[in-house]
A and B are shown apart, each in its own frame.
Chain A
Amino acid sequence: MWMSVEVNGHIYEREVTEHWTLLRFLREDLELTGTKDGCSAGECGACTVMLNGQAVNACMVLAAEADGATVETIEAEAVDGELSEIQAAFARNYAVQCGYCTAGMVMSVRELLEHNPKPTVAEIKEGIEGNLCRCTGYQQIIEAVLDVSGQIDSKSRGGLKYV
């Protein structure tokens, strides 16, 4: 079907294969490969994007459903090559390892902070529960969210102990 969608501030008008998901549309048609596919089954959160301001698993939404919608992906998070505050906090706190979950994770954190600028640890865990990360063990991601929401300074940041 013919569709029109705004992605990261650009309008795209395209013929889209009806059974294609928004994830395939973004990655294969628009070549926005920053959003990752970890399962294509709504189980891992690697494909999280903002659809009309809400974080969704792009693999669980048909591309056709985004007709007329606004989509934001990881590619729009940094502006003019400057990392956003969330991204910078991820970097400061070693919240990235292989990076495959990172785009989805950043999107979920963004949604969380938009609704709840100072989330507790429990609320952060809840907020990223749908995003699997096999590398980091989540702890440094949680610390990054506490950091960007102004709830830890460099002193109280979780650190390595030496004996």
Chain B
Amino acid sequence: MSESTLPPAAAHVGDDVQRVDDAAKLTGGAMYASDLVFAGMLYAQVKKSPHARAKILAINTSKAKNLPGVHAVLTGKELDYRIGLYVVDKDVLAKDVVRHFGEAVAAVAAESLDIACRAVDLIDVEYEVLPPVLNQLDALDENSPLVHPDLGSYDYVKASFSPQPGTNIPNLTKIRKGDIDAGFAEAKWIVEREYTNPSVQHVPLETHVAIVEWKAGDEVTIWSSAQSPFTLRDLFCRAFKLPHNKVRVVIPHVGGAFGGKAGIHLEPLLACLSRKAGGRPVKFQATREEEFSLLPCRSALTYKIKTGVGADGRITAQKLLMYWDSGAYADYAVNVTRASAYSAGGPYDIPNAWVDAYTIYTNKPWGTAYRGFGHVEFFWGLERHMELVAEVIGMDPLEFRKKNLLKPGSTTLTGERINEHTGNPLKCLEAAASAINYGRLTPEEQERQARTGRRIGKGIATLHKAPAMPSFTSTAAVIKMNSDGSVVVNIALTEIGQGTATVVTQMAADRLRFPVSRVKVAVERDTDKDPFDWQTVASKGLLLTGNAVIAACDDLLRQAYLDAAQVLRAQTVDLDHDGEKIFVKQRPEESVTFAALSIGYVYPNGNGIGGPLIGLGRYTAQGLTSLDKETGQGLPALDWTYGAHGVIAEVDPETGEYTVIKIASAFDVGKVINPGTMRGQCIGGMIQGLGTAECESYIYDDQGHLLNPSLTDNKILTAKDLPEEIECIAVETPQLDGPFGARGVGEHPMISVAPALANAIHDATGAELTHMPVRSEDVWRAIHNRLPVDTWVTKAPAV
């Protein structure tokens, strides 16, 4: 295409365009995997372990098999298939041993859900109960039982991970930057503290659900609530040694995911049941209780931070030790560990750094991806620690952060040089701080404090995150023109609520100069029909898929121009187009409509030329590298999205009860594609972040039984728990290789909400909080057992 002669078309990018999936979702017409029913469909149920660690001595399934209406019963003994994303460590059904409470040990498929439930009750399992290892630090002890004695024999992705056979460590990631000893020697102060957080649940409103049909000839179809159809297909085919073209994955609407539906879950088990039941489709939907322990959670973390600071308030060195509780299987936890390791210092300039990040097996439900991919967890410690260090050295926490923020010319922990296009963490921090009038109480706040007797405090926290993905992550988009000149876009990035379909519609419309009404993004994802996408995770979709969609639009226009040049007896450089037609620049009345070209142009005498207009676009992350296994040096980051939160909290100093008066958050998204959907992503993440900050947590007894697998005992925030005021701020420092300058923001709003809240509570009361979630009783305890800050200072200037 050449320079356009037209004024810019009405732009949709940057505008409040309504979501394209609203009508279906608002009327109940949108079909989710849980709504699908097929002829001959059977219902699966699983028998679950009541123990955290046990030997399976015997399983008696004869009564279940004899129950009328039961078509298949399976135990682990009959199956020899193993699955695993990065470390292949999980049997499709537990074999010989169970490794966590709630693990599946047998499964049935029956004509109705009621029969399947009865059949599972009729299965008897005999166990020899063994003492579980529940705490990840205990699991490092050389006398600890091994969760996976065979770790050394498992397959794993060698470029990125380092399992330690003979231990409970499926991965250790190391980062080495500068000279750590010299950095600490140079420091005037050294401050060391440990921070912890428990496992939590994603709680998508739709629990995991799948239907699998394995027909004769190994023709497999999977309908699933999964986030990532191609990765699901790949993992499935590896487990069963099937060619990819035998397995089709279809993803309809998804009722929330948040990382918990990335990867592969019950699909392989359902496939085995279907094969055994003669190829009938088999459906399973997890109950809310099963969602907590049959399916994965977010890993617990213990984070030990040691920071050296110079006389000028600059960080000289940081030693960061991460102990990630993977639970019974490695799944995403090894990659959470890796991604957290290279991000571990936050958006700060740290000249000398040492990170050891361990993934550790325990006998608990396993940890997987969860919005933020480790960053919610480690930023809890990091941004509490920054507050503590500021307190120790007597500097205002905002000033201390500003002094140490990354700026153009700084290098990250892996040696990546930051420049002025990477994004602006300072602007985010200043915007969040000013939105809460940081550092002072307004007259209204003073009056409120006097009136209520509660203390008002203000806290800030920064954040950053880059997509955690293979260095060569790629995607593609196909855009097909219909005979009326409208288009359908096919991508494999799933719509899980984040608004992908809407922003892709806007970007395609602008690139084509079409109205949004002429662009449709196909609803279902289907690996037989859609072009490849790696996964719908990591906040990478907007950048990668956006670029692929732009390339697809250009490809379609290029073909249309070639055909139009022939029709109009012109060269493509002579042509321009608007939303309806391609025309000769010099004589716009000489034109041909897109509709006339769409499926091949027809001359008046009936001759046809051209053919259906189909654009293809591809995009691969540019220039990224693997990390050196000994030093962690390399280029892992597609883009960095920076952000910051400000929180105003009101605390009762007697009881520790608190409420959040305001949260204000700013993110450098490069370019806002859709203010309404971006604000929705942000507020949704901020409130999910407040849930993790205030109350969410798995609770186990000392035998590893999960005590609170329900929404009554594991609360998430309701509308009544909202802060009085929520403010959402966009910073736009264009990403040079982002579509329209944009970068992702799906996960970031949730990161660092917890430390911003705890910093506000600290400001109000002096409470030193090191464990998240922060419940009122924790605040009360921290207020009443206040330790002096010297407790954590291991080097200080002589007074």
* B679 adjacent to A159 (CB under 8 Å): yes
B392: CB under 8 A from chain A? no
* B678 adjacent to A160 (CB under 8 Å): yes
* B26 adjacent to A162 (CB under 8 Å): no
Q: Whole-angstrom distance between the alpha carbons of A36 and B253 in the complex?
A: 13
Q: Whole-angstrom distance between the alpha carbons of A115 and B752 in the complex?
A: 40
* A91 adjacent to B499 (CB under 8 Å): no
Q: Type the 1/0 row for A12-54, where 1 means its CB is closer than 8 Å to any CB of B.
A: 0000010000000001000111111111110110100000000
* A90 adjacent to B28 (CB under 8 Å): no
Q: Whole-angstrom distance between the alpha carbons of A77 and B729 in the complex?
A: 35
B610: CB under 8 A from chain A? no
Give chain A interface residues in 80-112, CB to chain B under 8 Å: 83, 87, 90-94, 96-103, 106
* B204 adjacent to A100 (CB under 8 Å): yes
* B680 adjacent to A140 (CB under 8 Å): yes
Main secondary structure of the interface of A (DSSP, over half): loop
How many residue pairs bridge A and B at CB < 8 Å?
A: 197
With a 10 A CB-CB cut-off, give which of A129, A159, A161 has the most chain B CB atoms: A161
* A135 adjacent to B684 (CB under 8 Å): yes
Q: Whole-angstrom distance between the alpha carbons of A136 and B26 in the complex?
A: 14
B27: CB under 8 A from chain A? yes
* A75 adjacent to B427 (CB under 8 Å): no
| Residues on the B chain within 8 Å of A140, using CB | 676, 679-680, 683
* B722 adjacent to A139 (CB under 8 Å): yes
Known contacts A33-B28, A161-B727: A98-B204 contact under CB 8 Å: yes
* A159 adjacent to B675 (CB under 8 Å): yes
* A99 adjacent to B253 (CB under 8 Å): yes
B212 CB → nearest A CB, Å: 20
Interchain CB contact (< 8 A) of A36 among B34, B684, B722: B34
B82: CB under 8 A from chain A? no
A141: CB under 8 A from chain B? yes
Q: Whole-angstrom distance between the alpha carbons of A44 and B201 in the complex?
A: 15
Q: Type the 1/0 row for B749-762, where 1 means its CB is closer than 8 Å to any CB of A.
A: 00000000000000
* B287 adjacent to A162 (CB under 8 Å): no
Q: Type the 1/0 row for B475-501, where 1 means its CB is closer than 8 Å to any CB of A.
A: 000000000000000000000111100
| Residues on the B chain within 8 Å of A158, using CB | 679, 726
Known contacts A94-B19, A97-B497, A129-B718: A83-B728 contact under CB 8 Å: no
Q: Whole-angstrom distance between the alpha carbons of A92 and B17 in the complex?
A: 9
A58: CB under 8 A from chain B? no
* B205 adjacent to A91 (CB under 8 Å): no
A80 CB → nearest B CB, Å: 12
A150: CB under 8 A from chain B? no
Known contacts A94-B680, A134-B256: A99-B710 contact under CB 8 Å: no
Interchain CB contact (< 8 A) of A38 among B28, B288, B722: B288
Q: Whole-angstrom distance between the alpha carbons of A125 and B204 in the complex?
A: 21
| Residues on the B chain within 8 Å of A101, using CB | 205
* B677 adjacent to A94 (CB under 8 Å): yes
* A37 adjacent to B728 (CB under 8 Å): no
Q: Whole-angstrom distance between the alpha carbons of A134 and B259 in the complex?
A: 13
B444: CB under 8 A from chain A? no
Total interface residues in chain B, CB < 8 Å:
68
B601: CB under 8 A from chain A? no
* B676 adjacent to A94 (CB under 8 Å): yes
A74: CB under 8 A from chain B? yes
Give chain B interface residues in 647-694, CB to chain A under 8 Å: 666, 672, 675-680, 683-688
| Residues on the B chain within 8 Å of A1, using CB | none
* B26 adjacent to A33 (CB under 8 Å): no
Q: Type the 1/0 row for B713-742, where 1 means its CB is closer than 8 Å to any CB of A.
A: 000101110100011111110000000000
* A132 adjacent to B728 (CB under 8 Å): no
Q: Whole-angstrom distance between the alpha carbons of A163 and B426 in the complex?
A: 12
* B719 adjacent to A124 (CB under 8 Å): yes
* A35 adjacent to B28 (CB under 8 Å): yes
B624 CB → nearest A CB, Å: 30
* B716 adjacent to A132 (CB under 8 Å): yes
Using CB atoms, name the residue of chain A closest to B23: A83
Q: Whole-angstrom distance between the alpha carbons of A107 and B751 in the complex?
A: 32
| Residues on the A chain within 8 Å of B22, using CB | 90-91, 96
A114: CB under 8 A from chain B? no
A152 CB → nearest B CB, Å: 14
B30: CB under 8 A from chain A? yes
* A99 adjacent to B719 (CB under 8 Å): no
With a 10 A CB-CB cut-off, give which of B26, B254, B677 has the most chain A CB atoms: B26
Interchain CB contact (< 8 A) of A163 among B26, B34, B256, B731: B731
Q: Whole-angstrom distance between the alpha carbons of A73 and B678 in the complex?
A: 30
* B730 adjacent to A132 (CB under 8 Å): no
* A128 adjacent to B27 (CB under 8 Å): no
Interchain CB contact (< 8 A) of A137 among B18, B256, B287, B684: B684
A64: CB under 8 A from chain B? no
Interchain CB contact (< 8 A) of A40 among B287, B684, B712: B287
* B30 adjacent to A137 (CB under 8 Å): no
| Residues on the B chain within 8 Å of A161, using CB | 727-730
| Residues on the B chain within 8 Å of A138, using CB | 687, 718-719, 722
Interchain CB contact (< 8 A) of A74 among B19, B28, B37: B28
| Residues on the A chain within 8 Å of B417, using CB | none
The size class of the interface chain A forms with chain B is 35 or more
A133: CB under 8 A from chain B? yes
B500 CB → nearest A CB, Å: 11
| Residues on the A chain within 8 Å of B687, using CB | 137-139
Q: Whole-angstrom distance between the alpha carbons of A137 and B663 in the complex?
A: 12
* B205 adjacent to A134 (CB under 8 Å): yes
A65: CB under 8 A from chain B? no
A79 CB → nearest B CB, Å: 10
B712 CB → nearest A CB, Å: 6
Q: Whole-angstrom distance between the alpha carbons of A34 and B27 in the complex?
A: 7
Q: Whole-angstrom distance between the alpha carbons of A91 and B18 in the complex?
A: 7
Using CB atoms, name the residue of chain A closest to B668: A163
Q: Whole-angstrom distance between the alpha carbons of A73 and B28 in the complex?
A: 9
A11: CB under 8 A from chain B? no
With a 10 A CB-CB cut-off, give which of B27, B30, B288, B497 has the most chain A CB atoms: B27
Q: Whole-angstrom distance between the alpha carbons of A137 and B679 in the complex?
A: 10
B31: CB under 8 A from chain A? yes
B25: CB under 8 A from chain A? yes
Known contacts A36-B205, A138-B687, A160-B730: A96-B26 contact under CB 8 Å: yes
With a 10 A CB-CB cut-off, give which of A33, A90, A96, A159 has the most chain B CB atoms: A96
B431: CB under 8 A from chain A? yes
| Residues on the A chain within 8 Å of B204, using CB | 98, 100, 134
Q: Whole-angstrom distance between the alpha carbons of A41 and B711 in the complex?
A: 9
Q: Type the 1/0 row for B30-61, where 1 means its CB is closer than 8 Å to any CB of A.
A: 11101101000000000000000000000000
Interchain CB contact (< 8 A) of A160 among B254, B255, B688, B728: B728
* A132 adjacent to B28 (CB under 8 Å): no
Q: Type the 1/0 row for B297-317, where 1 means its CB is closer than 8 Å to any CB of A.
A: 000000000000000000000
* B205 adjacent to A44 (CB under 8 Å): yes
B181: CB under 8 A from chain A? no
A84 CB → nearest B CB, Å: 9
Q: Whole-angstrom distance between the alpha carbons of A102 and B32 in the complex?
A: 13
Q: Whole-angstrom distance between the alpha carbons of A44 and B719 in the complex?
A: 12
Give chain B interface residues in 224-262, CB to chain A under 8 Å: 253-258
Q: Whole-angstrom distance between the alpha carbons of A36 and B206 in the complex?
A: 8
Interchain CB contact (< 8 A) of B205 among A35, A132, A159: A132
Using CB atoms, name the residue of chain B closest to A35: B28
Q: Whole-angstrom distance between the alpha carbons of A33 and B29 in the complex?
A: 8
Q: Whole-angstrom distance between the alpha carbons of A87 and B678 in the complex?
A: 20
B203: CB under 8 A from chain A? yes
| Residues on the A chain within 8 Å of B683, using CB | 136-137, 139-140
Name 10 extra pairs, CB < 8 A, besides A33-B28, A134-B203, A162-B672. Answer: A37-B34, A38-B207, A46-B205, A73-B28, A90-B22, A91-B18, A91-B23, A130-B718, A133-B205, A142-B722
Task: Please list 11 pairs of residues, one from A and one from B, whose beta carbons are closer than 8 Å in the complex, sorted by A's number.
Answer: A33-B31, A34-B27, A37-B285, A41-B710, A97-B499, A98-B254, A98-B497, A100-B206, A140-B679, A161-B728, A162-B731
Q: Which 8 pairs across A and B sit closest by C-beta, in order of nearness?
A: A34-B28, A99-B25, A98-B497, A100-B255, A137-B687, A97-B497, A74-B28, A33-B35
